[in-house]
Amino acid sequence: MAYDSATVEYFCFAKARVQFLSGEDTPRAFLERGISSIEKREREVRAFVSLDLEAARVAADAATERWRAGRPLSLVDGLPFAVKDCYDVAGFPTRVNSALFDDAPPARADAAHVDALRRGGALFVGKTVTTELTMAAPGPTWNPWDLSRTPGGSSSGSAAAVAAHMVPLATGSQVRGSGLRPASICGIPALKPTFGALSRVGGFDPSPSLNHLVLLAGTLADIWDSANQIARVVGGDPGEAPWAPDDTLPAPRRPLRLARQYTVGWDKTDADSKAVFEGFLAKLAATGVEIVEPKDGPLFARYEDLTSRVLEFFFDLLLWEIRSPLIALAAAQPEAFSETMHRHIANAAKLTLADYVRALARRDELRAAHAALEGEVDGFITLAHIGPGQLGQPPLGTPWYNDASSAVGAPTINLPVLAVEGLPLGVQLMGFPGADAALMGQARWVLERFAPGTVGILSDNLV
């Protein structure tokens, strides 16, 4: 079946809540619909490394009783969710698709965000496939829209599980494009919040200064409710300003001015994808949204120049922060690493402290250029990937459009509004650090016009 943003519709827990109260639906029945999809599609999609379905059923029955009594724990009580296998879940090993952790014992405690969701009554369904150490060799997952294509990475299984109607929500992570890229390729919304706004404590963290918790879901409504639940219970990363909870998804707000970004990705994008994106920008302009080009002013030109050069420093940041343990482990267990990881480790070994300091200065320069545009534009728009998921190599997609938003640490959303060759292609919308709610309002406005089934029907003030 070809992807069509105008008609696509995934599971929406926010919509189901209304029926829980009326007795037309229950959390157990909602869960069973996802389990049915797992039973039908998991063998071919291969989104999960482990499942905990019987425990999820028991938890769903308890949630069902709470809704029947009109006393749910939270807006996510009964929400089935999956967790990327770089985060800890009590009772399950965290293996990160690496031979280093083949014999890892089960985690003794949940990662912070898992704990927060479960405290609100959400139902843990299973752990999803990621790439080797979230950065190298791919896992076995396939794209639900075309089983011959990549689902993207490294949040491969999380994106695929949502797109295959297995769960309404899955968690992921992003250092480069590990959350937004698979969301684009699999055709679902995903939010990378402001850096540090939602806690990523608990599990394997490949880059302390760049990594983000990512929420991938079928609808904006479920992303919003889940982010609020996490923020209320565990907040953000230590030392970082946390997400400000609000039960009501921001009202749709048309952005007045959006700065277009090309990055290094545009020259690597296929002609059909370029044409589809240009057509989308023209549709936005027809509604009154001004698309600002880099040539339209020195601040925009400078920012575009800096974003197109992120690769000059990004890997120095990433590799320096993990170099010491990886160099030691590669010497002790060389057979535990893929060829790709050995290349990364060799490059990390060449770095000096001066290289890292220079990279930090380059990142700060980019962030200052981004901040200088606040008040000039409402946000930034570009593609989320160079095209639909590739056949064959590269097996994970490419991060060229995503690097800058990760380096800046600004909130960014994948909007699944385009199709090329009958396959999904996302648009990346980025805001300003700390302005996550404003970005969600803009995203809602866009999706209500171009992919209405991915907004979700809200049931505010139920609890």
178 is catalytic: yes
Give me the catalytic one of 98, 154, 156, 199: 154
Give me the catalytic one of 178, 184, 308, 405: 178
Give me the catalytic one of 15, 74, 84, 158: 84
- Write out the chain in H/E/C secondary structure: CCCCCCCCCCCCHHHHHHHHHHCCCCHHHHHHHHHHHHHHHHHHHCCEEEECHHHHHHHHHHHHHHHHCCCCCCCCCCCEEEEECCECEECECCCCCCHHHCCCCCECCCCHHHHHHHHCCCEEEEEECCCHHHCCCCCCCCECCECCECCCCCCHHHHHHHHCCCCCEEEEEECCCCCHHHHHHHCCCEEECCCCCCCCCCECCCCCCCCEEEEEECCHHHHHHHHHHHHHHHCCCCCCCCCCCCCCCCCCCCCCEEEECCCCCHHHCCHHHHHHHHHHHHHHHHCCCEEECHHHCHHHHHHHHHHCCHHHCHHHHHHHCCHHHHHHHHHHCHHHCCHHHHHHHHHHHHCCHHHHHHHHHHHHHHHHHHHCCECCECEEEEECCCCCCCECCCCCCCCCCCHHHHHHCCCEEEEEEEEECCEEEEEEEECCCCCHHHHHHHHHHHHHHHCHHHCCCCCCCCC
84 is catalytic: yes
Active site residues: 84, 154, 178
